[in-house]
A = this chain, B = another copy of it.
Amino acid sequence: MQPADPSGVTETAVFVHSLGLCESPNVGKGSRIWAFAHVLAGARLGEDCNVCDHVFIENDVVVGDRVTVKCGVQLWDGLRVGNDVFIGPNATFTNDRFPRSKQYPEQFAQTIVGHGASIGANATILPGVSIGQHAMVGAGAVVTRSVPPYAIVVGNPARIVGYAGDRPEPAGSQEAIAPPTKPGSIRTAIGNVTLHRMNHYKDVRGSLSVGEFQRDIPFEAKRYFLVYDVPSAETRGEHAHRECHQFLICVSGSCAVVADDGRSRQEFLLDAPSIGIHLPPMTWGIQYKYSSDAVLLVLASHLYSAADYVRDYTEFLTLIRASDAR
């Protein structure tokens, strides 16, 4: 998709096409500025970037290394783009929620694109959102809210439809590990996450699902909570716990759980009151795709403690690696 490598550019120099215009001195080595592209003087770009035809980059813009900016894209004041980001053709950023001609907000809204993220062709990004690392914005999507790390969003307005797995494809599209059909538990590919089938019985008077805390729940439960009335487009979780174990049962309706141990991630479907999943500490957990009648029962090994939460994915990865190093 990128233009052929022009013969005259070396790895240490910046290439500017004869019909391109680069006014900034702060462009990293190996980066290329193509025909009809225009980089203003204040912009800062990293190394090995590719700025295609008809791109426009304003002054208060910072772009990382190895970033691809396809044709027809503008990067406005206030934008911060991480390393290894892909921005598809005609993808459009904004920096004023209610723009009026010649009326400027006191401060332009800042939009942040995390490292490794991809913005699909012709997508529209509303002002002030963050695109999480490795997130993928679908072509033509209109992003009105921040996108979590690894999330895949599509549509207008954009909704999360999956999470990128180890490869760029959605985690949920890979071979799923089904819960056991008989009471018991199995290991998954994600850290110490286990999938459980609880005892269950059904007769004409209704159904019954049973669990014994000591035998069936892999920790002593000190707290429970119920999550319900969740709009179907909502995502909850997006955090890890430092010490707290969680055991999740979707007791009504259904929802999906994405578990991530910092190395890989997978999606699990909880669609029966007899299915449980154990998320041990230091598992990044996400719940989404709630059916309208979903009620999620969570058993937790610890009382609530704000300090136990890791809410930033980058911090989570740092902690995982520190733990590995030990």
Known interface pairs A36-B36, A124-B122; A205-B225 also in contact (CB < 8 Å): no
Cα(A279)–Cα(B98), bound, Å = 29
Known interface pairs A53-B38, A102-B68; A207-B228 also in contact (CB < 8 Å): yes
**Most-contacted residue by chain B among A58, A67, A304 (CB, 10 A):** A58
Interface 1/0s, chain A 287-313, versus B by CB < 8 A?
000100101010000011000000000
* Distance in Å: Cβ of A101 to nearest Cβ of chain B: 4
With A101-B116, A141-B142 already in contact, 18 other A-B pairs whose C-beta atoms are closer than 8 Å: A1-B95, A3-B58, A4-B59, A21-B35, A66-B101, A90-B90, A92-B122, A122-B122, A122-B142, A124-B140, A126-B139, A206-B236, A207-B227, A208-B227, A209-B225, A209-B228, A211-B224, A295-B295
Q: Which of A1-59 contact B (CB under 8 A)?
A: 1, 3-4, 19, 21, 35-36, 38, 40, 48, 52-54, 56, 58-59
Q: How many copies does the complex hold?
A: 6
* Cβ contact of A38, chosen from B35, B101, B168, B303, cutoff 8 A: B35
**Stretch with Cβ within 8 A of B (4 or more), from A70-78, A174-182, A262-270:** A70-78
**Most-contacted residue by chain B among A36, A99, A168 (CB, 10 A):** A99
Q: Which of A177-211 contact B (CB under 8 A)?
A: 202, 204-211
SS class, residues of chain A in contact with chain B: loop
A interface residues, Cβ below 8 angstroms from B: 1, 3-4, 19, 21, 35-36, 38, 40, 48, 52-54, 56, 58-59, 66-68, 70-72, 74, 76-77, 84-86, 88-90, 92-96, 98-104, 108, 116, 118, 120-122, 124, 126, 136, 138-142, 154-157, 164, 168-169, 202, 204-214, 221-231, 234, 236, 249, 251-253, 273, 290, 293, 295, 297, 303-304
